[in-house]
Amino acid sequence: MVEVSILIAARNAADTIHATLRSVQRSRDVDWRCIVVDDHSTDCTAAMVRDLQAADSRISLLALPKNRTGVVAARNFGLEQITSPLVAILDADDLMHRDRLRLQVEQLNAERLDIVGCHVRYFPRAQVGQGRLRYESWLNGMRSTSDLNEAAFVEMPLCHPSLLMRTSTMNQVGGYQDHPWPEDWDLYLRLHRANARIGVVPRVLHAWRLSHDSLSQSSSNYSLDAFTQCRAHHLAQSWNLNEYILWGYGSTGRALCRALSALHCRPKAIVELHPGRVGQTIQGAPVIAPTQLAGHLRQAREINPQFPPVLFSVAGKKARKQMTESAQKLGLKVNQDFIYCA
C-alpha cells in the first residue's frame, strides 16, 4: 500500500485543528502520515497537535523556522521533509471524508494522473452566500480532465486543500511560490503549463470551512485584481505572448487587457458582438465582428504558427454560451483555437 503524506500548514488554529486531525484519523484503507507545520502560532495549536501526536505516531509536528513565515513558507518547509511518493493538502480548519484518500489514490493510479482533486461542500451552511454557492456549484461541475483543462484560466477549478499530488511533480515545478496573487492558483497554472495530468473524483469528499480570517477573505493576494494579474502572467508565460486576439471588451476583458499590456503584450484584434463597436480601434487594435475572427486568426498563424488561441474574456453564463456557439459555428475548438479566461 502506497504511503500518503498529509500536509497541513497551521497558524492559530486551536479552534479547529483537533477536528481536522480527527477527520484525518478516520481515513481508511490507506497508509498515511500527517505533518502539521506550525507557522508561529500564538495560541495553543502546537500543544493540541502534540497531545494527538503522543497518542498517534502517524501525526508529527514541525515548527517553521523563525526566518520563515506565511502559508507558502510553511507548505514548502513541509514538502522539504516529505519522502513519500504522494502528498495530500489539507487546511487546518477543514475536514476530509474517511474515503477521500483511498478514492483519490485509486483514481490517480487508474488514470495515471499526477494530481487529483474532489468535489467539495462549504460549511457552516448558514454562512455560505450566493457567490460561494455559485463557486461551489462550478467546482462540483468539474467531472473530467477535459473540464479542468477548459477551466484552467477561468479560476482555480479545484479546491486546493482537496488535492492529492505526486511529490515528484510538486518538486519538478518548484513547490509553492510567493507572488502578489493566489499561491494555489499560481501552483495549479504552473502544473498545467508543465502538462501535469490532472483529474477529479466527482464525489463530495472534502468539507471546506468558511472563515472570516482566512487568507481568501483578508489578503490582497485574493482580490479581483490579483486574480487578473495571475491569469495574465500565466497566459504570457504559456504562449510567450507578444500579440493576442481578445474576444470581449467589457469590464473583465478590459482588466485582462490592462494586465497584459503591463507585461508588454498587445492585442492584435478585439472581437465584439456589439455591431456598434465594430470598425473602431482599441489600443491600436481593430475591433472586428465574430464572422471576421477565423480569417484574422488564420492570417496571424500564417505569419506565426505559434500564435496563441483567442482569449475569451466575457463573464456570465449567457454571454459565454453565446460566444461559444459563435466560435463553434466558425469551426473553432476550445483549448486549440480559443481558451476561456472568464
**If you write DSSP's letter for every residue of 4-43 in order, what string do you get?**
EEEEEEESS-TTTHHHHHHHHHT--SSEEEEEEEE-S-SS
Domains in the chain and their CATH numbers?
A: 3-221 (3.90.550.10), 223-340 (3.40.50.720)
- The tally of CA atoms less than 13 A away on the side-chain side of residue 101 is 28
pLDDT of residue 230: 98
C-alpha cell at 325: 456557439
The candidate with the shortest Cα–Cα distance to 208, out of 283, 294, 315, 121, is 121
Per residue in 282-315, pLDDT (tens digit) is 999 999 999 899 899 999 999 999 899 999 998 8
pLDDT interval class at 237 (50, 70, 90): very high
Q: Which helix (H) or strand (E) holds 137?
A: helix 130-139
Cα–Cα distance between 11 and 278 in angstroms, integer? 53
pLDDT of residue 213: 65
Beta-bridge partner residues of 122: 208
Burial profile 87-111: b = 16 or more Cβ within 10 angstroms, e = fewer: bbbbbbbbbbbebbbbbbbebbeee
pLDDT of residue 214: 65
Please give the share of the chain, as a percent, with pLDDT higher than 90: 85
- Across the chain, what does the average pLDDT equal? 94
Beta-bridge partner residues of 238: none
The candidate with the shortest Cα–Cα distance to 164, out of 222, 121, 234, 105, is 105
**pLDDT value at 240 more than 90:** no
Query: CB-based contacts of 298: which residues, under 8 Å, 6+ apart?
Result: none
pLDDT of residue 326: 84
Q: Which long-range contacts (CB under 8 A, 24 or more apart) does 141-144 make?
A: 142/117, 142/200, 142/202, 143/200, 143/202, 144/199, 144/200
pLDDT of residue 322: 83
Cα–Cα distance between 342 and 319 in angstroms, integer? 11
pLDDT interval class at 112 (50, 70, 90): very high
The region that residue 128 occupies, defined by phi over 0 for left and psi between -120 and 50 for alpha, beta otherwise, is: beta
The strand pair at 31-38 and 310-312 is best described as unpaired
Dihedral, 105, 111, 115, 117 alpha carbons, nearest 10: -70
Dihedral, 85, 86, 89, 90 alpha carbons, nearest 10: -110
Per residue in 40-95, pLDDT (tens digit) is 999 999 999 999 999 999 999 999 999 999 999 999 999 999 999 999 999 999 99
Amino acid of residue 299 = Q
> Which backbone phi and psi does 206 adopt, to 5 degrees?
-140, 130
Measured CA to CA in angstroms, residue 229 lies from 221, 246, 310, 341 at distances of: 10, 16, 18, 12
Per residue in 247-291, pLDDT (tens digit) is 999 999 999 999 999 999 999 999 988 888 899 999 999 999 998
pLDDT of residue 217: 59
In this prediction the pTM is 0.94
As a whole number, mean pLDDT of residues 136-163 equals: 97
Please give the share of the chain, as a percent, with pLDDT higher than 70: 98
**pLDDT value at 182 more than 70:** yes
pLDDT interval class at 216 (50, 70, 90): low
pLDDT of residue 218: 61
**pLDDT value at 215 more than 70:** no
